[in-house]
C-alpha cells in the first residue's frame, strides 16, 4: 500500500539495549523526519533528512542515530536506550521541507 | 529553544458552535501548517499557509497566516463530534528548523 509505515508499532526494551525503529515511505518524498511526542512537550524534531545520504539534527538529537541510504527508508537507532527515551516516535515525509505526512507512530517503552 | 504557543490549551464546546484558536511564535516563520491528531494516530495535515496575510479554507476550516509572520489562526465553523482531537500549529522558522506548537485539545459536546 502507498503511504508511510512504521515498525514496530510497539516495543518494550531495557536500559542499555540498542533499538532501531523503521520508517518506510512509498511516495518518493525527498524529505523525511523523526519526531518524539511526550506529554507536556508536544512533538519535537529529532533528526531530518533532505535526501538520501543527507541528514541533519533537529531539536533533540542526543542519544539517537539516523541513516538514509535509500530515499524510501529512514531508520532511527537508539544506541543505548535510556528511560528518558520512553516516548511515542513519529516518522514523517514530505516533498518539500514544510508539508509533512505522518506515519502511525511507534510506542517505545524503556524499562 | 523555540516554542510555538497555542491558545487556548483546551476547549469544550457544544456541537454547532464555531471554534477559534491561535498560535504565536517569538520568531518569524516562513510557512504555517495546521494539523489534527486523533488519539493513537499520527497528525494529519489540515491546512498549509505560505504567505503573510494569506487566508485559506478547507471545508469548515479556515486558517490565516499573520501579517507579522509570528502568528497564525485556525477557525472551525459549525463544529461536529468528529472535530474532537488535538490541533497543532507547526512550521519551519527562518533557520529551517521545524517546530510544533503545544496543541489545543478540542472536545465537542453533542
Per-residue pLDDT of chain A (111 residues; tens, 9 = 90+): 569 999 999 999 999 999 999 999 999 999 999 999 998 778 999 999 999 999 999 989 999 999 999 999 999 999 999 999 999 999 999 987 688 999 999 999 999
Q: What is the pLDDT of residue A44?
A: 92
Distance from CA of A105 to the nearest CA of B (A): 6
What is the average pLDDT value for chain B, to the nearest integer?
Answer: 93
* Nearest by Cα to B50 from B34, B67, B30: B30
Integer Cα distance of A21 and A86 in angstroms: 13
Answer whether residue B27 shows pLDDT above 70: yes
Q: What is the pLDDT of residue A3?
A: 93
Q: What are phi and psi of B83, to 5 degrees?
A: -75, -10
Q: What is the pLDDT of residue B1?
A: 57
Q: Which residues of B are less than 8 Å from A62 in CB distance? A: none
By C-alpha distance, the chain A residue nearest B47 is: A99
Q: What are phi and psi of B66, to 5 degrees?
A: -65, 150
* Nearest by Cα to A28 from A75, A89, A74: A74
**Does B39 contact A at CB distance below 8 Å?**
no
Q: Which residues of B are less than 8 Å from A35 in CB distance? A: 100
Indicate which of B43, B49, B85, B93 best probes the interface with A, i.e. most A CBs within 10 Å of its own CB: B43
Q: What is the pLDDT of residue B64?
A: 97
Answer whether residue B3 shows pLDDT above 80: no
* Burial of residue B55 (number of CB atoms within 10 Å: 0-12, 13-18, 19+): exposed
Cα B8-B10-B15 angle, rounded to 5 deg? 110
Beta bridge partners of A59: none
The most confident of the ranges B26-30, B46-50, B94-98 is: B46-50
By C-alpha distance, the chain A residue nearest B98 is: A45
**Mean pLDDT value across residues B3-21:** 94
By C-alpha distance, the chain A residue nearest B93 is: A98
Confidence of residue B92 (pLDDT cuts 50, 70, 90): confident
Distance from CA of B89 to the nearest CA of A (A): 11
Q: What is the pLDDT of residue B98?
A: 83
Q: What is the pLDDT of residue B2?
A: 61
Amino acid at each position: 500500500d502507498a503511504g508511510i509505515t512504521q515498525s514496530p508499532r510497539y516495543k518494550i526494551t531495557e536500559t542499555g539495549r540498542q533499538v532501531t525503529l523503521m520508517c518506510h515511505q512509498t511516495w518518493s518524498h525527498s524529505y523525511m523526519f523523526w519526531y518524539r511526542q511526550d506529554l507536556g512537550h508536544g512533538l519535537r524534531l529529532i533528526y531530518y533528512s533532505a535526501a538520501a545520504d543527507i541528514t541533519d539534527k533537529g531539536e533533540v538529537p542526543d542519544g539517537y542515530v539516523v541513516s538514509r541510504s535509500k530515499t524510501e527508508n529512514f531508520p532511527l537507532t537508539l544506541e543505548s536506550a535510556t528511560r528518558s527515551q520512553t516516548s511515542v516516535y513519529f516518522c514523517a515525509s514530505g516533498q518539500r521541507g514544510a508539508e509533512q505526512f505522518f506515519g502511525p507512530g511507534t510506542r517505545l517503552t524503556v524499562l | 529553544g523555540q516554542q510555538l504557543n497555542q491558545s487556548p490549551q483546551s476547549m469544550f464546546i457544544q456541537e454547532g458552535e464555531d471554534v477559534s484558536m491561535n498560535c504565536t511564535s517569538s520568531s518569524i516563520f516562513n510557512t504555517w501548517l495546521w494539523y489534527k491528531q486523533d488519539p493513537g494516530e499520527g497528525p494529519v495535515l489540515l491546512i498549509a499557509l505560505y504567505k503573510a496575510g494569506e487566508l485559506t479554507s478547507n471545508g469548515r476550516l479556515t486558517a490565516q497566516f499573520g501579517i507579522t509572520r509570528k502568528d497564525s489562526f485556525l477557525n472551525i465553523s459549525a463544529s461536529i463530534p468528529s472535530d474532537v482531537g488535538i490541533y497543532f500549529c507547526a512550521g519551519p522558522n527562518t533557520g529551517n528548523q521545524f517546530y510544533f506548537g503545544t496543541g489545543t485539545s478540542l472536545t465537542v459536546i453533542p
